């Protein structure tokens, strides 16, 4: 088959690769598989949302296209959700509903950049970001990983990487894979750095509902639309990752340009996702708050047991959903280490190098999809190593 060299040079999708290691394996009842691989909530959306979706199926309009940017009433509901959760909000016109944060990312980068432009990406990076940028012919300029700083960005380092070709600083907060959260103060400084260089600060805030406070206060600034773009996901927030529910939040004129790509790419977010999103934004604040606490408890529990357990693995960073650990085998890559954990301890997790070059000594554990009671068992297995 004739595929492009650009695409051939991109790493395979890491979750698909790691899950392929499970093919043909059977796990004994006394040592079942512990899946620390994918960042999905372990719970389902609440019954109210499910019933609402079922009822919507009787309405023929549920099966039709919506405007490219999404239904105005849904964008209004999202805007109000932001007002409650960030205490300041984009307007409905500054919102385009997308097929997950994934498509919001593509809309952002196709609208912002031309081939050979540069985007600064903090290591460890959410793997789909470098993969997508490479596919678009955009140069990925990695900001180095600093384990002593939980992998958080350093303002001076980011500044030193800006060139005349830089179009954006792309960051994830709370981070996938480390769980670390960039402070609102640093976010503001990064915004001002972007502003003074006439580039964009692009924040992927997929996990914004799981830290209990707004990740930043940029929406309070009147000038935010000039230099800030947010990539939003509602998949984790409302536990509907499979409905593919996200948004691009940006300056209205940027959205108008992005709609050219939206139209040719997907036309619109599916109606079902919009129906669920509107219901979620209007009815599920308490449910989100409870799940945010649940996820933080999982993290706190994980962290305290992990530290007490004194394994040969080192906890470099952690937060809601994720832990970023250093494995003890200097001679093994992250891939080999992850395979060893599967062979010996029936645990699957992601290799560090999936998150960028030079990260072979690390593994990402996601405890978002295992129950509180399973956490101790998972760490006990790491003690056997
Ligand atoms: C940082 C980050 N961005 C984007 C996504 C994709 O989100 P969505 O399912 O909304 O496309 C994920 C999913 O794990 C993620 O961790």
pLDDT digits (tens, 9 = 90+) for 288-335: 999 999 999 999 999 999 999 989 999 999 998 999 999 999 999 999
- Ligand 1, atom 14, residue with closest C-alpha: 39
- DSSP structural state of residue 229: E
3-state helix, strand, coil in the chain (%, to 5): 45, 15, 40
**What's residue 38's pLDDT?**
87
**What's residue 257's pLDDT?**
98
The pLDDT mean for the chain works out to 96
- Cα–Cα dist 253/257, whole Å: 6
pLDDT digits (tens, 9 = 90+) for 124-170: 999 999 999 999 999 999 999 999 999 999 999 999 999 999 999 99
The arithmetic mean of pLDDT across residues 4-28, rounded, is: 95
CA of 1 to the centre of ligand 1 (A): 30
pLDDT above 90 as % of the chain: 95
Instruction: Give start and end residues of each alpha helix (H) in the chain.
Output: 5-8, 14-20, 47-56, 72-86, 100-112, 128-135, 155-161, 184-196, 224-227, 252-265, 271-283, 285-309, 334-345, 372-383
Determine whether the shortest distance from the Cβ of 38 to ligand 1 is under 6 A: no
**What's residue 204's pLDDT?**
98
- Ligand 1, atom 13, residue with closest C-alpha: 39
CA of 128 to the centre of ligand 1 (A): 8
pLDDT digits (tens, 9 = 90+) for 69-126: 999 999 999 999 999 999 999 999 999 999 999 999 999 999 999 999 999 999 999 9
pLDDT-based confidence at residue 1 (cuts at 50, 70, 90): confident
**What's residue 349's pLDDT?**
97
The arithmetic mean of pLDDT across residues 171-200, rounded, is: 98
Both tokens of 50, joined, read: 């499910």
Determine whether the shortest distance from the Cβ of 233 to ligand 1 is under 6 A: yes
Alpha-carbon torsion angle 190, 191, 192, 196, nearest 10: 100
Q: What are the structural domains, with CATH classification, of the chain?
A: 5-44+287-383 (3.90.1150.10), 47-284 (3.40.640.10)
**What's residue 384's pLDDT?**
79
pLDDT digits (tens, 9 = 90+) for 251-271: 999 999 999 999 999 999 999
Determine whether the shortest distance from the Cβ of 246 to ligand 1 is under 6 A: yes
Question: Residue 16: which residues within 8 A CB-CB, separation 6 or more?
Answer: none
Angle between helices 252-265 and 100-112 (to 10 degrees): 110
Which atom of ligand 1 is nearest to 172's Cα?
A: 1
- Is the pLDDT at 370 greater than 90? The verdict is no
Closest CA to 124 of 157, 146, 105, 154: 146
Q: Three-state SS across 33-44?
A: CEECCCCCCCCC
Query: Which of 36, 235, 350 has most ligand 1 atoms within 8 Å of its beta carbon, as the pocket-test mutant?
Result: 235
pLDDT-based confidence at residue 195 (cuts at 50, 70, 90): very high
CA of 101 to the centre of ligand 1 (A): 5
CA of 339 to the centre of ligand 1 (A): 24
**What's residue 371's pLDDT?**
85
pLDDT-based confidence at residue 372 (cuts at 50, 70, 90): confident
Both tokens of 209, joined, read: 């509902």
- Is the pLDDT at 385 greater than 80? The verdict is no
**What's residue 34's pLDDT?**
94
Which atom of ligand 1 is nearest to 105's Cα?
A: 4
pLDDT digits (tens, 9 = 90+) for 29-72: 999 999 999 888 989 999 999 999 999 999 999 999 999 999 99
CA of 29 to the centre of ligand 1 (A): 32
CA of 5 to the centre of ligand 1 (A): 26
Determine whether the shortest distance from the Cβ of 359 to ligand 1 is under 6 A: no
Determine whether the shortest distance from the Cβ of 124 to ligand 1 is under 6 A: no
Angle between helices 372-383 and 285-309 (to 10 degrees): 20
Determine whether the shortest distance from the Cβ of 241 to ligand 1 is under 6 A: yes
Check: CB of residue 70 under 8 Å from CB of residue 93. no
- Which of 39-53, 235-249, 326-340, 370-384 shows the lowest per-residue confidence on average (mean pLDDT)? 370-384
- Ligand 1, atom 16, residue with closest C-alpha: 176
- Ligand 1, atom 3, residue with closest C-alpha: 206
- Is the pLDDT at 216 greater than 90? The verdict is yes
Query: Which of 98, 176, 207 has most ligand 1 atoms within 8 Å of its beta carbon, as the pocket-test mutant?
Result: 176
């Amino acid at each position: 088959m004739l595929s492009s060299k650009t695409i051939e040079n991109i790493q395979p999708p890491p979750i698909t690769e790691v899950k392929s290691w499970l093919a043909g394996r059977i796990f004994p009842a006394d040592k079942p598989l512990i899946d620390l691989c994918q960042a999905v909530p372990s719970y389902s959306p609440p019954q109210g949302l499910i019933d609402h979706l079922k009822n919507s199926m009787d309405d023929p309009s549920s099966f039709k296209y919506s405007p490219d940017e999404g239904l105005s009433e849904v964008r209004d509901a999202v805007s109000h959700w932001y007002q409650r959760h960030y205490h300041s909000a984009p307007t409905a016109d500054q919102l385009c509903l997308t097929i997950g944060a994934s498509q919001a990312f593509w809309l952002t980068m196709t609208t912002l950049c031309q081939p050979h432009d540069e985007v600064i990406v903090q290591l460890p990076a959410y793997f789909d970001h470098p993969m997508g940028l490479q596919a678009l012919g955009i140069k990925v300029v990695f900001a180095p990983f600093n384990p002593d700083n939980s992998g958080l960005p350093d303002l001076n380092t980011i500044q030193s990487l800006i060139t005349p070709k830089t179009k954006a600083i792309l960051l994830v907060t709370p981070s996938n894979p480390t769980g670390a959260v960039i402070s609102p103060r640093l976010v503001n400084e990064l915004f001002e750095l972007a502003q003074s260089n006439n580039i964009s600060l692009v924040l992927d805030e997929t996990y914004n509902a799981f830290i209990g406070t707004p990740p930043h206060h940029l929406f309070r600034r009147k000038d935010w639309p000039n230099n800030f773009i947010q990539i939003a996901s509602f998949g984790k927030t409302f536990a509907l990752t499979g409905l593919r529910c996200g948004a691009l939040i940006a300056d209205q004129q940027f959205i108008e340009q992005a709609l050219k790509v939206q139209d040719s790419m997907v036309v619109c977010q599916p109606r079902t996702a919009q129906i669920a999103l509107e219901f979620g934004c209007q009815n599920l604040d308490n449910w989100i708050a409870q799940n945010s606490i649940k996820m933080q408890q999982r993290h706190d529990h994980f962290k305290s047991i992990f530290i007490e357990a004194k394994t040969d693995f080192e906890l470099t960073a952690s937060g809601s959903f994720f832990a970023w650990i250093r494995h003890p085998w200097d001679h093994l890559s992250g891939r080999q280490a992850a395979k060893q954990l599967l062979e010996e301890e029936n645990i699957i997790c992601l290799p560090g190098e999936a998150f960028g070059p030079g990260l072979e000594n690390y593994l990402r554990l996601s405890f978002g999809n295992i129950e509180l009671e399973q956490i101790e068992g998972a760490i006990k297995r790491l003690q056997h190593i």
